[in-house]
Every structure is written in C-alpha cells, then in structure tokens.
A and B are shown apart, each in its own frame.
Chain A
Amino acid sequence: MNNMKITRITLAAVLFCGVSFAQAQKAESSLQLSFSKQTDNSKTISALVMGKKSGEKFKPASNAHISFYAQKEKELVLLSKTVSDDRGKATLTLPKDLPLDADHFFGITVKVENDDTFENSEEKLKLKDVNLSLKLNPHDTARVATATVTEITDEGTEKAVKDVSINFYVQRLFGKMPAAEDHTVKTDEKGIAVFSFPKGIPGDTAGSMTVLAMIEDNDSYGTVESKSSTNWGVVVPLEKDPFPRAIWGAKAQWGMIITLTILYGGVWSSYIFMAFQLRKIKKEENLTTNN
C-alpha cells in the first residue's frame, strides 16, 4: 500500500515536472502585420510569425497557430484560424463587409494562441480603406500617368485624399521596376498625383507594358495598388534564336553532336555487328548438329 502511494506521488511529481518543463520550453513569439489592397479591391492581411528560443535569435516560425480577428466596437470577431507556413507566414483575404469605427477605420487583431510550441502574442492594425485609381491614355504622346486617391465619407460619397505618396512602377517578369529614378509623387488637394512617364522603357513585342501606382506601407492606408496596361513601351521584337547553340547554351553545337555521334555510333555499331556475328555462331550450332 505504502509502495503504491510512493509510486503515485513520484508519477505525479514526474508529470508535474514534465509539464512545467514543457511549458518552460515554449518559444517566445512575435508578429509583424502587413495589409495590401489590390487592383480588384481585394484586401489581404499577411502575418509574419517569428519565434525565439532562449539564447537564440528570432527566426521565422513555422506551424504556429494564428487567429485573425476583426474589431467590432469593443469586441473581437474571429475571422479565421490558420497555421504559419515554412517561412513563418500566414495570409488572409479579408471580407468586404469589415466593421468600421466612427472614423471609418477598420481594426484587425492577429494572435498567436493555443500553441504548444510558441508563447501567446498579438499584434493590432488599424487602417482606413482608400481607393486608388490609375488612368493612362494610350494615345497621349506626353505619356502622363494619373493616379487618384479617394476615401468614402459618411454620406457615402468619395472625398479626395491629399499628401499621399504614390510610387509608379513598371511590371517586369520577376518583380516591379521603378518607372524613373524619382518615381514618387504626392497627391494634391484633388487627390491626384501626376507622373510623366519616361520614354525608352522596353515593352513586349507590341510595346505593351503594365504600369503600377502604389501607396506603400502607409501608416493609415497600408499598401494599396492599382495597375493598368498601356502601349507606351519600346517594341522589343522577338529574337528568332535567343539561345544559340553553344557550349554554355541549352543546346549543343552541331559540330559536337556530329562528332560524338560518329565516335559513339561507330563503336556501338561495331558492337551490333559483333552481336550479329555471335548470333550466326549460335545458328551454326544447328547446322553442325544436323550435318
């Protein structure tokens, strides 16, 4: 009986220590949020989770349990729950009918919670929804790009937003390229930013290119993007053979192919000839036997 008691106490102690130890082993976590609004008016919020074990540096935390909440007056409404990917990232497309406060701001709270590996942490974001539109006139020889920033008033009408920095870019294959050295223009009282598009930027085979106007990492609006296509680019004809046959190319030179084919073809055809002769030796067995 006594032994049973001792065993139970020991087990409980071990379990308690184990749990305490496991809790003590939880890594510290932190969150970084970013908001972006695309040309099609879809809004996304991205969370980057960083984790840190004691004595180590913060590094992206994968498989962290993340919850996205919307602020509705004083309450938090759960939007979605997910886990971070290998790079510690989690992205959510926000619903269109986000609750707004009196100043037309929406609030998003992201939490790392209920996670066995990481300690709880949270980060909040409070932003205003603005519209960014980009107008390009393909027939405009002056090549002026006009971006307009507006916000919705209580009455439901659009109101110009001034002093917002707009960056102009050209979409390239692997990213966006600033359209000029000085590619930032601030909006005026009418909420308009006018950018003179430089000449000589290569387009596609028809001279077409995609131009982007962006509000980037703005404290009140986050990242908002608008893009439009135009034919302001320099026509770049399609090269007939952009990758000629070369030692360093994808295709070998004919000289090399022919030489190797002759060399190896010569050897292998001799092997085939030998196989043919050996087959004849085999056939001659029957002849000898019959004779």
Chain B
Amino acid sequence: MSKIIYPDSHIPAELSEEVIREDSMRPTMKWGRSTQLWLGFLFMVFGWGLYAYIHQLRHGLGETAMRNYVSWGLYISTFVFFIGISHSGTLVSAILRITKQDWRMPITRIAELMTFVSLCFGGLMPIIDLGRADRIANLVIFGRVQSPLMWDVMSIVTYFTGSTIFLWLPMIPDMGLMRDRLTVVDTPFKKFKKWLYKTLAIGWTGSKSQWKRLELVMTIMTIIIIPVAVSVHTVVSYIFAMTLRPGWNSTIFGPYFVAGALYSGSAVVILAMVIFRKLYHLEKYITYRHFDLMGRVVLSLTLIYGYLNLNEYWIPAYKMATSEGHLLHDLFSGSYSTAFWLCQFGTVLFPIVVMCFPKGRTPGALTVVCIFIAIGAWVKRYLIVVPTLLHPFLPIQDVPLTWSQYFPNWVEWSVTMAAFSGMVIIVTLYAKFFPMMSMWEVVHGAHIEESKRVAFEKVEHAEEINEAKTNHKKATVVG
C-alpha cells in the first residue's frame, strides 16, 4: 500500500469519493465499548480535578503550593503550553493552505481541532490560577488598556473566536453531506446528530454561489488567522518580557515563544495523526509521505527554536550579570539543571539528530521524537515561569524558607490533569460526531492526484511518440 503512495503521491488517486466518505464517516456511526470505557476514565480524571478545583475555590490558593514567591506555578506554565500547541492549526492548516500545499488536506482538521481544544483549556488556566475566579470580570470592567494582561485577554478571545470559525468553515460541506446521509443510515444519538449537522451545515446545498462564498470566507480566515496566532503568543510572551525580572527581561521573547509554539504544536499534531491513523485506519490517507513532510516541518522549526534557545541563554550567560547569574547558575548547575539539560538535549538536540535521517521521519520514530518534544515543551514552560519567580531582584523579607521553594501539590496536579483530560474528552467526542478528515478536501485532493496522473501519462505518452518518431527518422536516414 505504502509502495503505491510513497514517495510522490499524497492521496491515492484511485480512491473513489464514496470510499473516502465511507472511511471518514465510519467512526462516527458507532460507539464501541472501548469508547465508553475510555470516556468513563477521562470523566473520572476530570471529576477528580473538578473536586480539587472546588476545594481550591473554597479554601483559597493557600491550598496549592503557590506562595508569595511563586504565584504563577503549574497553572500558568500549562497555560503557556496550551497556547503554544494551539499554533498547530495555524501552521498546518493556514500556512499550508495559503501556500497551496495539497498534502495538507487529510491532516488539516486534526490540526484545527488541536487548536480549538487547546485554546478551550488554555484560556481557562489563568482563571483557575485566580484565588477569586468570580472577579475575572473586573479585568474587563477596571482593566487598563496598557496592561499586557488586558492584551492577553483580547488576543486569546480573538484567536479563540477565529479558531472556532476556522475549524467550522471547512466542516460546512461535510455537515451538509452528513445531514443528508443521516436519513438513510442508523446511528447512536441520531436525533441529536440530525439537529447538530443541520445547524452546522447552515443550509448547505453545494450550489455554485455557496461554494464561491465559502471559498471567499475561508481565504479571508486563512489570511487573518496567521497574524492573530502570531500576536497571541507574542502577547503571552509580553506578560513575562514586560515584567522586570531576571530571565524574562528579554527582547527576543516574542519570536522565541512563537517559534516554540509552532514547534511544539506541530509535534502534537503528529502525535494526533499517529493516533487517529491507527485508531480509524486512515493509513491510506495519512501516509508515510505526510509524516516525512511533517517531520521536515518539525525539523526546521526545531532548528529555529534551537537557534533562539541559544540566544536566550548563551548571551546572558556570556555576561553573567548578577541577577541573571543567580538564575542561570540555578538552571545550568543548580536545582533545575537536570530538567534544563534534559530539555535541551531531549527536545532540541535529539529530535534534530533523529529527524535529519529519512528513517527518523517515519511514524514510529516521529512518535518517540514528538512525545519528547511535547513533554519537553511543557517542562520548558515550567522552567521559564518558576525559576525566575524564585529569583526576584528584591528577595521578600521574613518569609518561611518553604516559600522560596516550589513544587506543585496534589491540588495543582489534579486540576492540571483535569484540563488535559478535558482536552482529550472534547477530541474523543468530536471524533465520534464529526469526521476527522475534511472529506470534500480529501476528495478534491484525490481529483488533483488523478489529474496529475493523467497529465503525467500524457507527457509520458507524448515522449514515447517523440522517441518513436526520432527513431523512425534515424532509421530512415540510415536506410
């Protein structure tokens, strides 16, 4: 199978529309026992996290390990991580769409979904970090436009709205198809699905003028979502960079965060590709070619990220100014050195070495590399947030020794795990209601492949005729 597709073709041209649709919709037609057990487990984790959060709300932030020194701990690290992986949709979908990379078609929805779910919970993490979550409205009522926190709220709301639209727009033709198909097939939650597909299809009939309008809005959205995504992570970096603290007082934090976001986001998309390819038997669509190309994308981004990483640490380390020096010593050889060096080698050097080779860009190797990158990206956010808070310019006087150390406690771990499980719940439910591939785009991709094949055959045929003519001429001349 891979022999036919790899290395030139992205989607097998011989697949009919009906087969593509059938393969895409099949997982949405049944709810197996394993799905129910999986969702049950996820809801248990989520429920436990919810209990921990209610405990935190009732008894205050004192129930967490956060104190006056570290007031942004695991929650804000996870927030930055989630916002980072939300860039996957922008990169894979918008950038590849705008550069007309046809190979993106089977994986765009996975990428857009990752963006949507990570923003759902990324946006919640700062609210969870508040002792009085009910006061979040004060940020809007009394907030100052000059505050990076205010920009953050504006950017995330704008990006979340845009990403939701960006996920929904390519779904419209598919929703129309599924709405019509529901009249002939039987499926769990049929009534609800009927209402859902009808609502989301917004009266899609596939007429010429509807296609024209949809293409127009998708083009606009594709152009807009890229600067919005870049601005979001730049603004997230401003929360740190506009605060006068060692380690955060950096001018390259904006591009550093954006590069780190794109790199970790792409890695998470690859992991999602591996999982859905295996679970939903999408090997025909998500091919070795896709992994090879995504591997190249992640490799390029890792190199850019590595370069910025070098700038971020090497330049201050060369000067070792007093306040930065304490922090850097802690990172290079102190209490955070193990995590720091594991991050540098495991998520930068190791992926570069592996992905340089074609065999390192196969699904198996990429899975290992991307797990390293995803976990490393999370740890890296922790290393950006926590050690800096433990090294303020002016140490706080007369505080217990324990306040100058930080490790998240059970409340923080439970709530954070609930956020992760919440993400997976949404992805699982989404995959049970909607096709994980954009069907019309994959069909379109198959048509492109078909026309390419026909054109190629024509060229080959013409070359054969020319060759025959030339031989005939030569034979005549010799004769």
Contact = CB atoms under 8 A, between A and B. Distances in A.
Interface of A: 247-250, 252, 256-257, 260, 263-264, 267-268, 270-271, 273-274, 277-278, 280-286, 288-289
A268 B220 CA distance: 12
Interface stretch (B4-12, B113-121, B158-166, B351-359): B158-166
B145 A285 contact: no
Given A267-B228, A268-B158, A282-B202, A257 B207 contact: no
Contact of B202 (A256, A278, A288): A278
A257 B202 CA distance: 37
Given A271-B165, A281-B172, 5 more contacts: A248-B146, A256-B146, A267-B228, A274-B221, A281-B204
Nearest to B154: A264
B224 interface: yes
Contacts of A247: 146
B311 interface: no
B221 A285 contact: no
B213 interface: yes
Given A257-B145, A267-B162, A271-B165, A277 B202 contact: no
B205 A284 contact: yes
Contacts of A267: 158, 162, 224, 228
Contacts of B203: 281-286
Contact of A271 (B146, B162, B202, B231): B162
Given A247-B146, A288-B207, A281 B228 contact: no
B161 A252 contact: no
7 contacts: A247-B146, A248-B146, A264-B154, A270-B220, A274-B221, A277-B216, A285-B204
Contacts of B146: 247-249, 252, 256
Most buried by A among B145, B165, B220, B228: B145
B144 interface: yes
Nearest to A250: B144
A248 B146 CA distance: 8
Given A281-B172, A281-B204, A274 B145 contact: no
B214 A271 contact: no
Contacts of B228: 267
Nearest to A280: B213
Given A256-B145, A271-B165, A274-B217, A284 B207 contact: yes
Contacts of A280: 213
B35 interface: no
Nearest to B220: A270
Interface in B165-219: 165, 172, 202-205, 207, 209-210, 213-214, 216-217
Contacts of B213: 277-278, 280-281, 284
A278 B207 contact: no
B162 A252 contact: no
Interface residues of B, number: 26
Nearest to A245: B146
Nearest to B207: A288
Contacts, number: 64
A252 B207 CA distance: 49
Nearest to B205: A288
Interface string B380-394: 000000000000000
B208 to A, nearest CB: 10
A252 B145 contact: yes
Contacts of B202: 278, 281-282, 285
Interface in B372-427: none
A277 B151 CA distance: 28
B303 to A, nearest CB: 30
A277 B202 CA distance: 11
A271 B207 CA distance: 23
Contacts of A283: 203
Contacts of B205: 284-285, 288-289
Nearest to A274: B217
Contacts of B207: 284, 288
A280 B143 CA distance: 37
Nearest to A273: B220
A284 B209 contact: yes
B214 A281 contact: yes
A252 B144 contact: yes
Contacts of A270: 220-221, 224
B217 A284 contact: no
A249 B158 CA distance: 26
Contacts of A260: 145, 151, 154
A69 to B, nearest CB: 41
B210 A281 contact: yes
Most buried by B among A257, A260, A267, A288: A267
Interface in B226-252: 228, 231
Interface string B139-163: 0000011100001001000100110
Most buried by B among A270, A281, A285, A286: A281
What 6 pairs between A and B have smallest CB-CB spacing? A285-B203, A252-B145, A288-B205, A282-B202, A274-B217, A282-B203
Contacts of A263: 231
Contacts of A256: 145-146
A274 B165 contact: yes
A264 B217 contact: no
B215 to A, nearest CB: 10
Contact of A264 (B158, B204, B221): B158
A257 B145 CA distance: 7
